[in-house]
């Protein structure tokens, strides 16, 4: 078997606090520069990479001279706000050596639960990736309250993988991968080279965090693999300290623990659309649009729509039906039903004139569409 990253074009790479901050000793410039170098090289090979980086709290504590992780939420939030500055500065300067830009994106649970914000985050991330920019994502710790925090960035990484329809989630940590038990406590633990994401046996092997700066430990990584698999993304858990780990994985080397997603991407996406979102309305397509969707794999443009039925918001799921009323596809719509009824039948170049603004040229982007 070769690495699951060989055929992956869209990657989410997550680096944990202990790695980024040298176990809480301060930002590990050498390590961060090495990942930036590797990411720059795989982007040049044609892959797209989103980086989810932890370390804000640990770096903030270091900058504020705090020896013990605070327990008060407002102190944790203050530390995160201070540390995040250091994190983004470091990433920006390391990537700029490769002539690349970075973008800071801070997300909360609500951003991903709300359909409208979800679509906005998704289209911003895709735009950044198309521009060759490396998005650097962290949780927006300063505003996230205890009850709704992701807490660990493994969960956030998997949600970002779902969000951008990534092919793979790579979790870099301070261990070579998953062992049959926490290797810090069990010297005889067996290394697990591969498995299926979602296998309950893996959850039994995984324990909590290994260091004072990490949160979640291996269990959140295994659960993240299960979640990433729901949109068809494979997961690799590997050591961020392994030399050229991302390059070697991209070239096929089997490093770390490889957890394969059981479902193929299109089926996973279908399942995800079916599970998470209720149908809010219908758009009736002309014959040209039916062909564009079903035969040419195109997005749905307003010009191919002849009628709008029902009332829906941006980000809700609508059915696409042909002139006979047969459903041929469903997807996340970029405009409300009111807006859609104003722009239907019109070329996308007219959207701005009619509505006074333009969110997207497509009514439903093909990435947000599944054929029935």
Ligand X SMILES: N[C@@H](CCC(=O)OP(=O)(O)O)C(=O)O
Ligand Y SMILES: Nc1ncnc2c1ncn2[C@@H]1O[C@H](COP(=O)(O)OP(=O)(O)O)[C@@H](O)[C@H]1O
Nearer CB in complex with ligand Y: 214/302: 214
Q: Which residues of 100-125 are buried (b: 16+ CB within 10 A; e: fewer)?
A: bebbebbbbbebbeebeebbebbbeb
Instruction: In whole angstroms, give the CA distance from residue 301 to residue 216.
Output: 43
Residue 329, binding choice from ligand Y, ligand X, none, Cβ under 5 to 8 Å by partner class: none
Instruction: In whole angstroms, give the CA distance from residue 130 to residue 2.
Output: 28
Nearer CB in complex with ligand Y: 128/249: 249
The SS3 of residue 96 is helix
102 is in an annotated binding site: no
In the complex, minimum distance from the CB of residue 154 to ligand Y, in angstroms, rounded to a whole number: 6
Which among 69-77, 176-184, 284-292, 332-340 is the span making contact with ligand Y, rule CB under 6 A? 176-184
Among 92, 182, 203, 322, binds ligand Y (CB under 6 A): 182
State the DSSP code for 363: S
Instruction: In whole angstroms, give the CA distance from residue 148 to residue 139.
Output: 11
Nearer CB in complex with ligand X: 56/88: 56
153 is in an annotated binding site: yes
Residue 205, binding choice from ligand X, ligand Y, none, Cβ under 5 to 8 Å by partner class: ligand Y
In the complex, minimum distance from the CB of residue 81 to ligand X, in angstroms, rounded to a whole number: 10
Alpha-helix residue ranges (DSSP H) falling in 17-114: 17-20, 29-44, 56-64, 73-96, 109-113
| 81 neighbors 43 (Cβ within 8 angstroms) | no
| 287 neighbors 262 (Cβ within 8 angstroms) | no
In the complex, minimum distance from the CB of residue 158 to ligand X, in angstroms, rounded to a whole number: 12
Give Cβ neighbours of residue 45 (< 8 Å, ≥ 6 apart): 250
CA 79 to chain centre: 25
User: Is 175 one of the binding residues for ligand Y (CB under 6 A)?
Assistant: yes
138 is in an annotated binding site: no
Binding mask 211-230 toward ligand Y (x if CB under 6 A, else -) reads x--xxxxx------------
Binding residue ranges: 14, 54, 141, 153, 173-174, 215-221
**Residues making contact with ligand X (CB under 6 A):** 16-17, 54-58, 80, 138-139, 141, 152-153, 214-216
Binding residue ranges for substrate: 54, 141, 153
**Residues making contact with ligand Y (CB under 6 A):** 16-19, 54, 173-175, 178-179, 181-184, 205-207, 209-211, 214-218
């Amino acid at each position: 078997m070769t690495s699951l990253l060989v055929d992956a074009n869209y990657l989410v790479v997550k680096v944990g606090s202990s790695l980024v901050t040298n176990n809480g000793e301060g930002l590990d410039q050498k390590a961060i520069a090495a990942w930036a170098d590797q990411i720059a090289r795989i982007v040049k090979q044609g892959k797209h990479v989103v980086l989810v980086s932890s370390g804000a709290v640990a770096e903030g504590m270091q900058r504020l001279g705090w020896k013990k992780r605070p327990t008060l939420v407002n102190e944790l939030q203050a530390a995160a706000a201070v540390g995040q500055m250091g994190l983004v500065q470091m990433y920006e300067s390391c990537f700029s050596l490769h002539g690349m830009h970075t973008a800071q994106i801070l997300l909360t649970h609500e951003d991903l639960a709300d359909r409208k914000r979800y679509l906005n985050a998704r289209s911003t991330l895709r735009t950044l990736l198309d521009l060759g920019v490396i998005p650097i994502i962290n949780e927006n710790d300063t505003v996230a309250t205890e009850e709704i925090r992701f807490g660990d960035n493994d969960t956030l990484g998997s949600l970002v993988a779902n969000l951008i329809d990534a092919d793979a989630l790579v979790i870099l940590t301070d261990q070579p991968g998953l062992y049959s038990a926490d290797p810090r406590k069990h010297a005889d633990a067996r290394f697990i080279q591969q498995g299926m994401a979602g296998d309950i046996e893996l959850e039994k092997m995984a324990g909590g965090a290994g260091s004072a700066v990490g949160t979640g430990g291996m269990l959140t990584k295994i659960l993240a693999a299960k979640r990433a698999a729901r949109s068809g993304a494979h997961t690799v858990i590997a050591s961020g300290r392994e030399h050229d780990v991302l390059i070697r994985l991209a070239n096929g080397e089997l490093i770390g623990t490889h957890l394969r997603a059981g479902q193929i991407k299109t089926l996973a996406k279908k399942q995800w659309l079916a599970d998470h979102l209720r149908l809010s309305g219908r758009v009736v397509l002309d014959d040209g649009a039916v062909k564009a969707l079903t035969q040419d794999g195109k997005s749905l443009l307003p010009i191919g729509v002849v009628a709008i039925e029902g009332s829906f918001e941006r980000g809700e799921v609508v059915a696409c039906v042909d002139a006979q009323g047969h459903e041929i596809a469903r997807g996340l719509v970029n405009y409300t039903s009111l807006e859609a009824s104003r722009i239907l039948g019109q070329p996308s170049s007219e959207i701005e004139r009619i509505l006074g603004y333009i969110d997207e040229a497509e009514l439903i982007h093909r990435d947000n569409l599944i054929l029935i």
